[in-house]
Amino acid sequence: MRAVSYSKNNQLTLLHRGSEFFPALVRAIDAAHAEIYLEIYIFAEDNTASEIKVALMRAAQRGVAVYVLVDWLGTGRKTIKQLAHDFASTGVNFRCFNPWFHRGLGRTHRKIMVVDRELAFLGGLNINDDLFSDDGSHTSLPAPRWDFAVAIHGQLVLSIQEAAAAQWLGYDIQDIKTRLQNLRRLRLQHTKSTLTVAEAGLVVRDNLRNRRTIQRSLLHAIGHAHKSIYLVTPYFAPGRKLRHALAMAASRGVQVTLMIGVGQFRLQDAVTQSFYPRLVRAGVALVEYSKTQLHAKVAVVDDEWATVGSSNYDGFSLFLNHEANIVVRDVEFATTLRSHIAQGMTEARVVTALEVESIGLWRRLLNWMAYLFYKSVLQIITLGSYAK
């Protein structure tokens, strides 16, 4: 694993929910003049996705090179077939990632768009309407999905461009020599510098060189925390190291708050709740968010370090799927994100120590069985990595 490489010439804009994210995406696509890379897990069939699709086709029709890579499982065969038909008519280059699990079980869960090597978007939002559930049921949500992305100008865009282009090139039928030449060409490209407002770095997870990069960046931040840790995730089921790190931080006096999405998947909730007794005993504050679907994967440490991205804090994201996060060392950015988390916590429910202690034996047994099942499955598909 390579260490996180921070660059200083970056201008970051935090985008909360689809109401801020999708208009910014359309504006960027409409302003593109050379090329667009879009890599996404879910590209839905709804009004929001249609707006993005039409914008991409407009860009291709005016001569922009547009490359769209969607996940085969996340987007679904029916939608992929329709996208392929629509994009082909306007010259958009389109592919799906790992169809029929031909390249193993890993999915691309990344949410990335890069425009003209000058502007990038990265975060947790898929291309789908945030007023409907993303589990395929198309159930109406009581409020817009709670999620974040970041718009990025500056040196870091080059790293994101390289990651997106490399993923696309990985699906070309090329010999090894051609692939190496293409990757070397990408690394020699440069972007314009902007005003220094933050130190930021890209951390990705794949099943080659970066198998533990995202987890280790988080463990490093948690291990060096002095005052506070705020971690937000829709699904909490990490391996032992991350759970232990949070408990140890709380034990040494760091204020550790874990906000978790609940109510979407019953099995996932049971797995998460199996960790509650130890976390509460260590002093971790637990907050359950159920006002709407919580989809954000963010963290803030000491109001100085922050991360936003696609990686959940569970076994699939940390040990199997392709993921992408931005990590930021900037007080203003971290404070802004922390204020959003604080607002979200006012809409959530605090899990008390008394409540955890009062969980009945039958419920504890069910939670333990759910975790044992989850752990067994993850142990198999990650070849034993999940337990580490």
Between the two ends of the chain, the Cα-to-Cα distance in Å is: 16
78 is catalytic: no
Write out the two tokens for 7.
């660059």
> Which among 268, 259, 336 has a CA at the least distance from the CA of 290?
259
| Catalytic position from the list 295, 322, 340, 375 | 295
| Catalytic position from the list 16, 53, 109, 153 | 109
> Which among 304, 1, 38, 64 has a CA at the least distance from the CA of 165?
38
220 is catalytic: no
302 is catalytic: yes
Write out the two tokens for 26.
């359309």
| Catalytic position from the list 53, 297, 340, 375 | 297
In DSSP notation, 17-57 reads: HHHHHHHHHHHHHHH-SSEEEEEES-B-SSHHHHHHHHHHH
297 is catalytic: yes
| Catalytic position from the list 111, 153, 322, 340 | 111
Which residues pair with residue 255 across a beta bridge? 228
User: 222: exposed, middle or buried (C-beta count within 10 Å: 0-12, 13-18, 19+)?
Assistant: buried
User: 327: exposed, middle or buried (C-beta count within 10 Å: 0-12, 13-18, 19+)?
Assistant: buried
109 is catalytic: yes
Which residues pair with residue 70 across a beta bridge? 40, 96
φ and ψ at residue 209, rounded to 5 degrees: -85, -20
φ and ψ at residue 331, rounded to 5 degrees: -65, -45
Give the length of the chain.
388
CA distances for 29 relative to 19, 115, 246, 328, angstroms? 16, 7, 40, 25
116 is catalytic: yes
**Active-site residues: which are they?**
109, 111, 116, 295, 297, 302
